[in-house]
């Protein structure tokens, strides 16, 4: 493959990586937002403190992913946003609600603070549901010739907030101590079963909803090799549930549930990437059909080589500086 032909593959990989990092990083803080209504007023401050240094920067990866889609795959960008205009708008409204509530609760009087906490929860829920719907529509190739397509998208729209809540609870297990950590363990146990059931049903429905996915996964010898992905996912989920019942998860291994769930998300990403390649929009546009000209991609690649390492370096630096248990919420 020539360098010109490889450029679209490079940009597709960068876009996919950006979206994966976004889903994991913003997923846990959306999950924390979804758990706000279960916490006491004092605990809500700790929940906010646990994501305070990270949540805004986490959304940078979403901007990067969408930016790559726009400049590297303009034809796909037009098609995707045409099909997803309403859920994208709702997602942005949810993210704006989160940002406004996060900042305004700082200055709010004690009587108004619960309202901003509820808006933070509402924004987290709206963004999560919208992302789930968009993912479902994307996987189905934006099919619109039967009731099964919206039902499939709705199932993912309901499953994704549960997955985010589980990831958020795992984050809190890692970042908190004492009674709140014990609550986080309980929240994780509660969210685990719906997530597993949802993943199982969606995994069974996806080959039915997409002939392309069905052919990719259920032909030999590929089927045998690909079984590693669902088996590894199942093992990670089972181990997550087992360790939630162990005392050590409240101490030295408090990070283990979060790492295992990150592995689950990564395995899901690998499965999705295998299912749709070489399409940008499944069954509609390949990466080469949707890509900008090689000359344009080379110019864009220069900018990407500068911006992506800078974003990655800042992300690593911020997590290194603010690593450890969440402390009492303070505003300077």
Question: For the domain that residue 124 is a member of, what is the CATH number?
Answer: 1.20.1630
Helix (H) or strand (E) holding 281: strand 279-281
Compute the distance between CA of residue 2 and CA of residue 297 in angstroms, rounded to an integer. 14
Compute the distance between CA of residue 156 and CA of residue 272 in angstroms, rounded to an integer. 14
Tally of domains within the chain: 1
Q: Is residue 328 included in any domain, yes or no?
A: no
Compute the distance between CA of residue 303 and CA of residue 50 in angstroms, rounded to an integer. 33
Predicted TM-score (pTM) of this structure: 0.93
Q: Which spans in 218-293 are helix H?
A: 222-226, 228-244, 256-276, 287-290
Instruction: For residue 178, count CB atoms less than 10 angstroms from its CB and return exposed for 0-12, middle for 13-18, buried for 19 or more.
Output: exposed
Q: Is residue 48 included in any domain, yes or no?
A: yes
Q: Is residue 8 included in any domain, yes or no?
A: no
Residue 195 CB neighbours (<10 A)? 23
Q: Is residue 332 included in any domain, yes or no?
A: no
The pLDDT value given to residue 169: 97
Q: Is residue 200 included in any domain, yes or no?
A: yes
Q: Is residue 330 included in any domain, yes or no?
A: no
Cα angle value 183/188/193 (rounded, 5°): 140
Cis ω before 184 (30° cut-off from 0): no
- Classify 39 as helix, strand or coil: coil
Q: Residue 91 is part of which domain span?
A: 14-321
For the chain, 332 residues long, the average pLDDT of each consecutive 10-residue run is 90 94 94 92 89 85 91 90 92 93 80 88 96 91 76 91 97 93 96 93 84 82 87 96 92 93 95 90 90 93 92 90 75 52
Q: Is residue 276 included in any domain, yes or no?
A: yes
Q: Is residue 4 included in any domain, yes or no?
A: no
The pLDDT value given to residue 146: 66
């Amino acid at each position: 493959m020539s360098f010109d032909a490889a450029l679209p593959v490079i940009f597709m990989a960068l876009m996919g990586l950006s979206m994966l990092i976004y889903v994991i990083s913003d997923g846990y803080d959306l999950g924390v937002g979804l758990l706000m209504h279960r916490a006491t007023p004092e605990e809500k401050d700790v929940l906010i403190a646990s994501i305070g240094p990270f949540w805004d920067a986490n959304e940078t990866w979403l901007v990067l992913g969408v930016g790559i889609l726009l400049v590297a795959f303009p034809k796909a960008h037009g098609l995707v946003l045409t099909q997803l205009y309403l859920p994208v708008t709702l997602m942005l409204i949810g993210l704006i609600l989160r940002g406004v509530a996060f900042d305004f609760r700082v200055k709010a009087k004690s009587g108004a603070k619960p309202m901003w906490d509820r808006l933070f929860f509402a924004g987290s829920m709206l963004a999560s549901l919208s992302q789930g719907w968009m993912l479902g529509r994307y996987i189905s190739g934006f099919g619109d010739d039967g009731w099964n397509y919206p039902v499939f998208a709705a199932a993912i729209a309901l499953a994704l907030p549960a997955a985010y809540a589980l990831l958020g609870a795992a984050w809190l297990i890692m970042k908190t101590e004492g009674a709140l950590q014990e609550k986080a363990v309980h929240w994780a146990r509660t969210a685990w079963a719906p997530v597993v059931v949802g993943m199982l049903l969606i995994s069974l429905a996806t080959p039915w909803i997409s002939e392309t996915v069905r052919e990719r996964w259920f032909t030999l010898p590929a089927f045998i090799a690909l079984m590693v992905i669902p088996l590894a996912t199942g093992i990670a989920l089972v181990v997550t549930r087992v360790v939630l019942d162990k005392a050590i998860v409240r101490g030295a291994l408090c990070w283990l549930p979060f790492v295992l769930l990150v592995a689950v998300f990564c395995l899901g990403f690998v499965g999705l990437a295998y299912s749709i390649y070489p399409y940008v929009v499944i069954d509609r546009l390949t990466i080469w059909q949707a890509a900008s000209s090689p000359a344009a991609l080379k110019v864009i690649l220069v900018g990407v080589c500068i911006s992506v390492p800078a974003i990655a370096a800042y992300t690593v630096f911020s997590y290194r500086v603010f690593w450890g248990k969440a402390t009492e919420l303070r505003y300077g």
